[in-house]
Structure 1
Amino acid sequence: MGLLVNGVWQDKWYDTDSTGGKFQRADAKFRNWVTADGTAGPTGGAGFRADSGRYHLYVSMACPWAHRTLIFRELKGLSDHIGISVVHPDMLQDGWTFQTDDHGARGDMLYGLPFARDIYTRADPTFSGRVTVPILWDKERGTIVSNESSEIIRMFNAAFDEVTGNTADYWPQQMRNAIDPVNARIYDTLNNGVYKCGFATSQQAYDAAITPLFDTLDWLEARLADTRYLMGDALTEADWRLFTTLVRFDPVYHLHFKCNRKRLLDFANLWAYTRELFQMPGVAGTVNFDHIIRHYHYSHETINPNRIIPIGPELDFMEPHGRS
């Protein structure tokens, strides 16, 4: 996980020395919005209208942030309207690459470029920052619309409804004030919390992250005892934002990131809930365990210097979930 400095690639890991061993995630740099009519969104500039075939999505099948966008692309019927390119699971000295493999990495389908960083410098030759996925690319203007997953899924949720005729709403206006605090806790302590644990370089930093993480899992387990989904009877973006962390928990976070007080399997409600979401139409096809397991264990040399890929737990995500 390197970064660009004024458009020049540097192979540098996160700096935890200056933070007392704490992992701190940088904010996304591209924050434009695709809207139905091309008017400006909450941030960024105008001019990104929701047209079929105009946008291209760069993702990693291993990355939970990119996974959110793949799920919304499926849920909202956007597969025929927004193309995708999948990076290779190994993220080494060159960061995300467009090397191909037999498990979903197809290369850069637009330009045939070798590295994800080339997409960033194509948008801004002097870009400084981490090269992350997902990347939503505008083919018409030749630039990055956004690299912030939480905002891309909201674009997919609403901007293309007139294009697809799919009006399912996972962030309904009347529920937003209730959804956003749930998202905030899950993001801070769980979605990002697993990284705070796994990338910590001091005992103090790890201890500060691991207890809130399992407090949140306990809170979610209790919440799902009384309701089918996080916000009640209707699926919302909060469920899908949570799902991409839960589906990776036992295969990678439990062992690799030392989130090992309990497994997902030990939470009866959360495990059944995860299986239910996994089994929804189109979702299983967005999950690639080959890439997930390979990426985490092989790419993070500071955690697993010998790059040994563990055998992993036996999990049946297609087992009947029994939730109704």
Structure 2
Amino acid sequence: MAEQGSYVTPGTEYTRDQRYIATRITRDGRDGYAVEPGRYRLVVSRACPWASRAVVVRRLLGLEQVLSMGIAGPTHDARSWTFDLDPGGVDPVLGIERLQDAYFTRIPGYDKGITVPAIVDTRDGAVVTNDFAQMTLDLETEWTEHVREGAPDLYPEPLRAEIDEVASLVFRDVNNGVYRAGFAGSQESYERAYRRLFDRLDWLEERLSGQRYLVGDTITEADVRLFTTLVRFDPVYHGHFKCNRNKLDEMPALWAYARDLFQTPGFGDTVDFVHIKQHYYCVHRDINPTGIVPLGPDLSGWLTPHGRESLGGRPFGDGTPPGPVAPGEEVPEGHRAG
């Protein structure tokens, strides 16, 4: 087995390395990279919650024909994500086996995390950006000339301040909070993260008891960011990361909210539960030394009625749902709920 990375430093609090390649792809190309159909490739793993944000946004906006997508396998070693799902283990567009090759093309000897999502310029094979938070905002605001007819406005200007505020709290205490608990190197740091996580989940439970979506009456960027953590909560974070005060399905409003989004085109049809579990339980060997992947939990509940329609709201606002998943991008049978 290839050498695995280390995720827990004994005696310390987990701190996420947020030194990303912050170059932006914009309408005017002010960072040297202009929006251009067919030029870029989005590299993701369906296992990764940060990458899954980009997968959902790309699908909701209908950018499949202008921004291709490469899917790395769910497990990786200490060096890099790999394209072991593709024939010969090589990405068919970039012609590389390891995502690190695209990073090294941009920055020789790149010494920070080889992370997904990453957008790669197919002209020279170099990573443009791996700044996952800015990436989806730019897809929503800089690529508007290329979105599908009926695409929703996921970052409406009048609501941006509130979306940013809610998303910041959710990132600190929930999206990253589960990692601060799971990768804690001491009992004290684990307990701090655990309490902050469930305090915020209680806050979200109350907020979502009276409104269908996090901000406004339509799906926004804030919902995408919360969803990718919630969908991993019971399969991974509850047990593997010791976030076990409650399971998601024991928090009524959050569980119904998560099912509502899961059953909305563009969300659940991008989720690969097999990849999610394989990644966390196989890669994090300092937490799960045996690499055994649990068979549970039962996923059929994701398809049960959620009743959130009674709260009103219009999922896509004045827009429409996305069409069928693009050929070749379907989640395999047996990897989905139900």
TM-score, normalised with respect to structure 1 = 0.89
* Structure 1 spans left out of the alignment, 5+ residues: 3-9, 41-45
- Give me the whole-angstrom Cα distance separating, in 2, the residues matched to 1:295 and 1:135: 18
Q: How many residues align?
A: 306
Residue 168 of structure 1 aligns with an amino acid whose one-letter code is: P
Cross-structure match for 1:91:
76
Tell me the distance in 2 between the aligned counterparts of 1:262 and 1:253. Answer: 11
Alpha-carbon separation, structure 2, partners of 1:304 and 1:110 = 34
Question: Which residue number corresponds to residue 9 of structure 2?
Answer: 16
Tell me the amino acid that sits aligned with residue 288 of structure 1: D
2:123 alignment partner in structure 1: 140
1:151 corresponds in structure 2 to 134
Amino acid at match of 2:40: Y
Identity of aligned residues (%): 42
Bigger mean CA offset, 148-157 vs 163-172: 163-172
Distance 1:298 1:203, change over 3 A: same
**Equivalent position of 1:5 in the other structure:** none
Match of 2:153 in 1: 169
Q: Deviations over 1:104-148 (max 9, x none)?
A: x97423233221211211211131211111101122354322101
Q: What letter corresponds to residue 71 of structure 1 in structure 2?
A: V
Match of 1:30 among 17, 21, 34: 21
Q: Is the counterpart of residue 61 in structure 1 residue 54 in structure 2? A: no
Q: How does 1:165-204 map to 2 (within 5 A)?
A: 165-166=148-149, 168-204=152-188
1:253 matched to 2:253: no
In structure 1, the partner of 2:335 is none
Residue 317 of structure 1: aligned partner: 302
> 1:296 and 1:208 mapped to 2: Cα distance?
22
Quote the Cα distance in structure 1 between the aligned partners of 2:71 and 2:172.
27
Shift of 1:253: 0.4
Distance 2:128 2:81 in 1: 19
Matched, 1:118 2:101: yes
Can you list the C-alpha shifts for 1:253-289, whole angstroms capped at 9, x where unaligned?
0000000000000011111111111111132221101
CA contact 1:84–1:109 (8 Å) conserved in 2 = no
- 1:259 and 1:101 map into 2 onto residues whose CA distance is 34
CA displacement, residues 172-223 of structure 1 (integer Å, 9 cap, x when unaligned): 2211221112111110111000001111121011011000100011110100
Cα shift at 1:54 = 0.9
Note if contact 2:174-2:229 (Cα within 8 Å) is conserved in structure 1: yes
1:112 & 1:80 partners in 2: Cα distance? Answer: 20
Moved more, 255-264 or 80-89: 80-89
Query: Is contact 1:35-1:159 (8 Å) kept?
Result: yes
Q: For structure 1, which segment, 63-72 or 148-157, has the greater mean C-alpha deviation from structure 2 after superposition?
A: 148-157
Q: Secondary structure at the match of 1:136?
A: strand
Distance 1:165 1:194 in 2: 34
Shift of 1:309: 1.0
Secondary structure, in 3 states, of the residue corresponding to 1:56?
strand
Cα separation, 2, equivalents of 1:310 and 1:107? 29
Equivalent position amino acid for 2:264 in 1 = M
Contact 1:64 / 1:244 at 8 angstroms: preserved in 2? Answer: yes
Please name the residue that 1:220 is paired with.
204
Q: For residues 35 and 301 of structure 1, what CA distance do their matches in structure 2 show?
A: 39
Quick check: 2:8–2:286 contact (8 Å CA) kept in 1?
Answer: no
Larger RCO: 1 or 2 (CA < 8 Å, sep 6+): 2
Quick one: which amino acid aligns to residue 290 of structure 1? V
Corresponding residue of 1:78:
63
Quick one: distance in 2 between partners of 1:216 and 1:15? 24
Name the aligned partner's letter for residue 75 of structure 2: D
In 1, the alpha carbon distance for the partners of 2:230 and 2:154 equals 19
Q: Which consecutive unaligned segments of at least 5 residues does structure 2 have?
A: 310-338
Please give the secondary structure, in 1, of the residue aligned with 2:33: coil
Counterparts in 2 of 1:263 and 1:123: CA distance versus 1, 3 Å: same
TM-align CA RMSD = 2.1
* Superposed displacement of residue 101, structure 1: 7.0
Q: Deviations over 1:18-73 (max 9, x none)?
A: xx4211111142111112232x3xxxxx2222111111011111000000000010
Contact 1:86 1:107 in 2 (8 A): no
Q: Whole-Å Cα distance in 2 between the matches of residues 106 and 195 of structure 1? A: 29
Alignment of 1:232 onto 2:216: yes
Which 4+ residue blocks in structure 1 deviate beyond 4 angstroms?
A: none
Structure 1 counterpart of 2:146, one-letter code = V
The answer as to whether partners of 1:86 and 1:106 remain within 8 angstroms in 2 is no
